Amino acid sequence: MDSKLLISAILKFCCGVLLVGLLLFLPAGTFDYWQAWLLLGILFVPMFIAGLVMMTRNPALLRSRLNAKEREKEQKAVVLCSGLMFLAAFVGAGLCRRFGFLLFPSWVSWGGAVVFLAAYALYAEVLRENTWLSRTIEVQEGQQVVDTGMYGVVRHPMYTCTLLLFLSMPLVLGSAVSLAVMLLYIPIIVKRIRNEEEVLRRDLAGYDDYTRRVRHRLIPFVW
């Protein structure tokens, strides 16, 4: 087992839990925010399990998922916008809890949790289908076009899953303000996909032919 990779994964996981917790509970001014605890549970417990699976079965995939340093200039702007979006969405949810402003009823939180977990399961399937998935825009040595499973329906199923994940988060948190902020993810992910496809067309053999076979990028029959 790669001890350096294991330590890096544990540190990033713990920092993620701490950061999200702080962004939710500090603005809320209380730990009595059950929707935030629900989100932390459904977000980080599956993430921990997935990390263990990748660590034992596919450490190269885990290593690529931990690498968040973008090479493409456009993607650096996308990452920055995404970070600001999450910051505003989580802080906004906490403030809504503090002041009782524009809150969804409890059943919306539970429904959002169901959608979130379903999207998480689809995300795990995408990781299983495509062992070249990376958090950054790049073409890896020996990479081939994957066109089976969900990749036979849309060209970027990982982003389809993240769209469901991110839009269900504010539902879990019970915040309409947070949902309004998270809608910004749609133009952000469209920009990311457009740039990613430029890189793939340029550097990945067979990708042009794949785009002719699978015409939709993100949502079947829509775009």
Domain boundaries, the chain: 3-213
Distances from the Cα of 31 to the Cαs of 15, 105, 173, in angstroms?
A: 19, 19, 13
Pair 102, 163: CB distance under 8 Å: no
Q: Are 33 and 24 within 8 A, CB to CB? A: yes
pLDDT at 79 over 60: yes
Q: Is the pLDDT of residue 54 over 80?
A: no
Token pair belonging to 142: 């020996």
Between 103 and 124, whose confidence is greater?
103
Q: CA 149, CA 159: separation in Å to the nearest integer?
A: 15
Name the more confident of 168 and 64: 168
When comparing pLDDT for 143 and 201, which is higher?
A: 201
Of residues 129, 88, 219, 109, the one with CA closest to residue 174? 109
pLDDT of 134 reads: 56
For the whole model, what pTM was predicted?
0.84
Which pLDDT score, from 0 to 100, does residue 74 have? 65
The fold for domain 3-213 equals Four Helix Bundle (Hemerythrin (Met), subunit A) (1.20.120)
pLDDT of residue 73: 65
* Alpha-helix runs per DSSP H in the chain: 3-28, 34-57, 59-66, 73-99, 106-129, 157-173, 176-182, 185-203, 207-213
Instruction: Give 103's pLDDT tier (boundaries 50, 70, 90).
Output: very high
Cα-Cα-Cα-Cα dihedral sign, residues 172, 192, 76, 135: positive
Residue 32: pLDDT over 80: yes
Confidence of residue 213 (pLDDT cuts 50, 70, 90): confident
Give residue-wise pLDDT tens across range 7-18: 877 888 899 999
pLDDT mean over 141-151:
74
State residue 43's pLDDT score. 92
Residue partners of 95: CB distance under 8 A and separation at least 6: 27, 28, 101, 177
